[in-house]
Structure 1
Amino acid sequence: MSTVLGEDHMTAAFNWGIIEEQPFLKAGIKKNPEKPRDRLVTDEEVAAFLKHVPEWLNLYIQLKLATGLRQRDMLRLDNTHWNALEGLRVGTSKTSVRINFESTQHLSDIVNGIKQLNGYTSRGARKFKWHFFMSRLNKPYTEGGFETMWRRYMDKAISSGDLKERFQERDLRAKAATQCESLVQAFELLGHKNISTTKKVYRRGYSKVKPLSPYDDSDNEQNIEKK
């Protein structure tokens, strides 16, 4: 039985010294680069979607926009990640970057709302441990289960006419990055290891740039000769 080796296998063989050159590159064959998504969700679209979701998903979206966390990291959050004084501490699953989101009033309000939903038993007793986003079975949502719920409420928003175009859960991560004041802030918020990833994939829309002016008295001005 013959085995067909792909470009990734050839690259690995070249890196390991098994072959002396990469046949795909020699033949001029290149991978088609994956085009990043450029869907930029507006505030109006988020508001339209929120009209059709339950409280737990509303809080999920608020937390997503505040932190930019990946779906996998959002779904595994529990009360051990939160400290009212220090904030939300997360070790990201993909890059292993550790992020401490400061305990701002906005973030505290979101977490307190989540706590009211999931931090207490039906009799009002405080739970020793609780996950942020739990299903009716009192278990954290799986990624598949969450995607099913997301599609259900997205269908409702579209069928109502309030929302004209669908958007994905991951588009909210890009929205959070785009709303940052600078690329560096977006890089730190998303926990990337390479700032080029932030710029290429997650910063969507237009970058705001202050034009230079000969009348700017700031220390950062560049001299513009008047002619």
Structure 2
Amino acid sequence: MTTIGALLDRYALEVIPAKAAASQESNRYAFKQLRPAFGEMPLTPFPPKLVYKYVDKRSAKIAAHREVEVLSHAFTKAVEWGLIDRHPFKGEVRLKGEKSRSRYVEDWEVEEAMKVKPMRKRGSVRAIQAYIVIKLMTGISQGDLLRLQPKRDFRADGIHVLRHKTKNSSGKATIYEWTPELQQAVDIALAARPVDIAPWLFCTRTGDGYINEETGKPEGWKSMWARFMGRVLAETAVKERFTEHDLRAKVASDADTLERARALLSHVDDRITRRVYRRKPERVTPLNRPFRVGSNDTGGSE
């Protein structure tokens, strides 16, 4: 194997199929952009300046950054596969990334969202309210929360979740232990289902799950969430929309330690937890020093 194009071919064959559907789609789109620029180039040498030139030429900077991330991972796999000795630009390139979202959802905003009155006992409002409460207790990602199946995932010691993103790797399951509050929220979610015998904790009117496994997208849930947030803004004191991702960030921000935040969100390490999800200002206690202002004051003028 001598070209980047050949490396991308192997990556597409061996790595992409193990990813979630949405990631597969975005990776294949990235390849369509990367191949014309790099496909005919040899694996080495690969000067880091080529990455800067690639991003500079693209008008869609955020998309270009995602594409570079895919290319970088392909080079990481090239090292693993013994094709090259070292990654040519890892740690050598510093791209100006887009700003991380900083929206922090206050407790009172959640309380206001809980005031939206459902039109019926079963249905979208009650389901979304239960979803929000479960989310704020556990931090489970949208994809994993919408894939929960009580008969499979609810056990005596808690809710067992193996992140969908890591099912094809060595990722370990996270067990969210039962508490009275979590059990109550789950019971409300079960009672809100339009179809009692559906296998999913959250289901459509026909009893199907919300995730389309071919695309990895939560079909139907997005529009239902948008309608709910419209009512929140119209009927409560909340003035700014918040997203499902903002709620996940609230979990990480409210956790007493970074390690607990990482564990709740089931991240492999705490870098993404700290950079993207911990949105509260960091609080620090000043050092205790023996010095006192004016301790040598003699009473004279300066």
Is this a same-fold pair by TM over 0.5? Answer: yes
Q: Which has the higher helix share?
A: 2
Q: CA deviation at 1:94?
A: 2.4
Q: CA deviation at 1:185?
A: 0.6
| Greater gyration radius | 2
Are 2:191 and 1:116 aligned?
Answer: yes
Structure 1 unaligned residues grouped into runs of 5+: 122-126, 214-223
- Spell out the pairing of 1:137-216 with structure 2 (5 A cutoff): 137-142=206-211, 143-160=218-235, 162-213=237-288
Q: What percentage of aligned pairs have identical amino acids?
A: 29
Q: CA deviation at 1:21?
A: 2.0
Aligned in 2, Cα 1:12/1:132: closer, same or farther, shift over 3 Å?
A: farther
Equivalent position SS for 1:94: helix
Structure 2 unaligned residues grouped into runs of 5+: 1-31, 57-93, 119-124, 212-217, 293-302
Taking CA–CA contacts closer than 8 Å with sequence separation of 6 or more, which of the two structures ends up with the larger relative contact order? 1
More displaced, 100-109 or 22-31?
Answer: 22-31
Equivalent position SS for 1:88: strand
- Spell out the pairing of 1:68-79 with structure 2 (5 A cutoff): 68-79=139-150
Q: 1:131 aligns with which of 185, 195, 200?
A: 200
Residues 66-99 of structure 1: per-residue CA shift (max 9 Å, x gap) = 111111111100111111x210100012244421
Equivalent position SS for 1:89: strand
Aligned in 2, Cα 1:50/1:11: closer, same or farther, shift over 3 Å?
A: farther
Give the partner amino acid of 1:108.
Answer: Q
**Equivalent residue for 1:82?**
154
Q: What root-mean-square deviation, in Å, do the aligned CA atoms of Structure 1 and Structure 2 show?
A: 3.1
Cα distance in 2 for residues equivalent to 1:81 and 1:19: 49
**Equivalent residue for 2:298?**
none
Cα pair 2:153 2:161 within 8 Å, conserved: yes
Cα pair 1:63 1:107 within 8 Å, conserved: yes
Structure 1 segments of 4 or more deviating over 6 A? Answer: 7-14
Cα distance in 2 for residues equivalent to 1:171 and 1:74: 15
**Equivalent residue for 1:219?**
none
Q: CA deviation at 1:161?
A: 5.1
TM-score for both structures, normalised by structure 1: 0.77
Give the partner amino acid of 1:21.
Answer: P
Give the partner amino acid of 1:78.
Answer: Q
Cα distance in 1 for residues equivalent to 2:194 and 2:206: 14
Give the partner amino acid of 2:164.
Answer: S
TM-score for both structures, normalised by structure 2: 0.60
Residues 45-68 of structure 1: per-residue CA shift (max 9 Å, x gap) = 112222226211111000010111
Are 2:100 and 1:39 aligned?
Answer: no
Aligned in 2, Cα 1:24/1:191: closer, same or farther, shift over 3 Å?
A: same
Cα distance in 1 for residues equivalent to 2:291 and 2:261: 37
Cα distance in 2 for residues equivalent to 1:34 and 1:182: 26
Cα pair 2:137 2:251 within 8 Å, conserved: yes
Cα pair 1:118 1:130 within 8 Å, conserved: no
Cα pair 1:118 1:134 within 8 Å, conserved: yes
**Equivalent residue for 1:24?**
50
Give the partner amino acid of 1:160.
Answer: E
Cα pair 2:139 2:251 within 8 Å, conserved: yes
Aligned in 2, Cα 1:119/1:158: closer, same or farther, shift over 3 Å?
A: closer
